[in-house]
């Protein structure tokens, strides 16, 4: 019979230098088990976010590049990507929709070149003017300090977990080990789930489906889309319902955002 994981929440800590680990061994085992049991990629990420609450991060983001697919690359040559995040929603959604997250973020660009964890300040050196503007936007979102964990399971599609907060912090070695253990666990689980890029990457859109999603991205209503495409409002609804089911999304905005992230439509 499988062992039942037991966990009692501890008092939340703010993150910082301390002789007491922010996650003790039993808690680490508990959260690894919970991540492993998550039925979807989103839920695995949500469990991870819950597990590291004691570290006091305001922003958590994980993503990876997806293999290139002919015919769906944007004119700006933005690589296809899979991405989940929590916090700084307005800022991160802007970066994802424009492709700037992959093409201009010093954190992502540095993270895809190295294989060991690094502090944000290490990537914020020797920047171009464009990258300096990007960093200013990150700080304006209340994110001044952070840490990244690169994941190199596949050199053609590297991954990165990034966590940030407003105030500076220090981590004990035991806390670094706990974080990296959980990061690797959630990436391992997400790679094998049906919602992961291996499955999502097989999704193809018809020309009509691409037209519908592109118009949704422009803020058009179902009635307006139907008028433009000369189909009924109900047909538009059925297209979006089918796309939402295939892409494992919860609403039209989620569907459009995921389609952009997967390179199925252009930002």
- Tens-place pLDDT, residues 33-82: 999 988 777 888 999 999 999 999 999 999 877 655 555 444 445 556 67
In this prediction, residue 179 carries a pLDDT of: 93
Query: 98 or 19: which carries more pLDDT confidence?
Result: 98
In this prediction, residue 78 carries a pLDDT of: 53
Scanning the structure block, which residue is given the tokens 């839920």?
43
pLDDT at 202 exceeding the cut of 50: yes
Band of residue 250 on the pLDDT scale cut at 50, 70, 90: confident
- To the nearest whole number, what is the mean pLDDT of the chain? 80
Exposure letters 77-100 (e unless 16+ CB within 10 A, then b)? ebbbbbbbbbbbeebbeebbebbb
Asked if 81 contacts 66 with a C-beta cutoff of 8 angstroms, the reply is yes
Contacts for 170-177: CB closer than 8 Å, 24+ residues apart: 170/16, 170/17, 171/15, 171/17, 171/55, 171/147, 172/17, 172/18, 172/19, 172/21, 174/21, 175/21, 175/22, 175/23, 175/55, 176/117
Rank 61-70, 97-106, 115-124, 252-261 by mean pLDDT and report only the highest. Answer: 115-124
Scanning the structure block, which residue is given the tokens 């700080």?
139
Q: What's the average model confidence in pLDDT over 208-218?
A: 89
pLDDT at 200 exceeding the cut of 80: no
- Considering the entire predicted model, what is its pTM? 0.66
The closest of 157, 177, 218 to 23, measured between CA atoms, is: 177
Bridge partners of 163, per DSSP, are 60, 147
3-state secondary structure of 63: strand
């Amino acid at each position: 019979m499988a062992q039942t994981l037991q966990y009692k929440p501890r008092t939340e800590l703010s993150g910082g230098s301390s002789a007491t680990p922010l996650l003790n061994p039993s808690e680490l085992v508990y959260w690894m088990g919970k991540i492993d049991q998550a039925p979807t990629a989103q839920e695995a990420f949500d469990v991870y976010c819950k597990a590291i609450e004691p570290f006091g991060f305001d922003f958590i983001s994980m993503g990876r590049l997806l293999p290139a697919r002919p015919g769906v690359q944007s004119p700006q040559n933005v690589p296809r990507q899979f991405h989940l995040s929590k916090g700084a929603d307005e800022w991160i959604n802007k970066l994802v929709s424009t492709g700037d997250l992959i093409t201009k973020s010093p954190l992502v660009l540095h993270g895809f070149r190295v294989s060991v964890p690094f502090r944000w300040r290490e990537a914020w050196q020797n920047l171009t003017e464009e990258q300096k503007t990007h960093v200013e936007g990150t700080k304006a979102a209340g994110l001044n300090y952070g840490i990244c964990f690169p994941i190199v399971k596949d050199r053609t599609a590297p991954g990165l977990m990034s966590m940030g907060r407003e105030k500076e912090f220090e981590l004990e070695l035991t806390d670094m080990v706990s974080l990296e253990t959980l990061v690797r666990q959630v990436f391992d689980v997400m790679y094998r789930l049906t919602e992961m890029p291996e499955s999502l990457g097989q999704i193809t859109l018809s020309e009509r489906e691409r037209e519908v999603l592109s118009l949704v991205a422009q803020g058009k209503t179902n009635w307006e889309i139907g008028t433009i495409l000369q189909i009924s409002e109900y047909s538009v609804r059925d297209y979006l319902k089918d796309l939402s089911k295939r892409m494992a999304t919860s609403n039209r905005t989620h569907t459009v955002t995921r389609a952009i992230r997967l390179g199925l439509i252009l930002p």
